[in-house]
Amino acid sequence: MSTQTHTEAKEKFLYNHIPTKVCRREFNRYLAPHLKKPTKGPKPKLSLYKLFNYILYVLHTGIQWDQLKTKRNELHWTNVYKWHNRWSKDGSYQALFEASVIHLKDTEQLDVSILHGDGSNMVVKKGALGSATRATNTKKATKSLPSLTIMASSWGPSPSSPLTTMTP
């Protein structure tokens, strides 16, 4: 039976799941520096730690925002949604994601061989069907027009016609 030190076990630990709840120590160390705090107005009734965990709960379970039940009715669901919306729009989530990727890269826990793009939530522009290629098999897609080729002989004199030169 081999024994491992705590640091060896920690080095071998790889993240293989998305956290559904964050402890206060990890929140203060890793998350709080990247979440923007309000500079004006009243302070939030709950700590940002609790707000963030409510947001994680909604995102993990997939429930509707209005179905969120807070403990002892300490906060209305609209306030939790407002914080989620605020952090989404002000770039806090983007900064948090970038910092987590950098941390995983620095600790050699980022495996880029398994990265992939999922386009199931991508916004499609209205003109996408109009620019479809011939191979597209959709009902509303129009076939692209055949390209017009202009013969080089149409721009100049044809090889069979004699060239005339004008003398002054």
Question: How many Å apart are CA 96 and CA 102, to the nearest integer?
Answer: 10
Question: How many Å apart are CA 55 and CA 116, to the nearest integer?
Answer: 25
Q: What is the pLDDT of residue 138?
A: 56
Q: Which long-range contacts (CB under 8 A, 24 or more apart) does 111-117 make?
A: 111/14
Domain extent at residue 62? 23-35+46-110
> Residue 161: is its pLDDT beyond 50?
no
Whether residue 77 lies inside any domain: the answer is yes
Predicted TM-score (pTM) of the model is: 0.57
Whether residue 100 lies inside any domain: the answer is yes
As a dihedral over the C-alpha atoms of residue 125, residue 130, residue 131, residue 133, rounded to 10 degrees, the angle is 130
How many structural domains is the chain composed of? 1
Cβ–Cβ under 8 Å, residues 89 and 61: no
Whether residue 63 lies inside any domain: the answer is yes
Q: Give tens-digit pLDDT for 57-108.
A: 999 899 999 999 888 888 899 999 999 999 999 999 999 999 988 988 898 8
Question: How many Å apart are CA 53 and CA 49, to the nearest integer?
Answer: 6
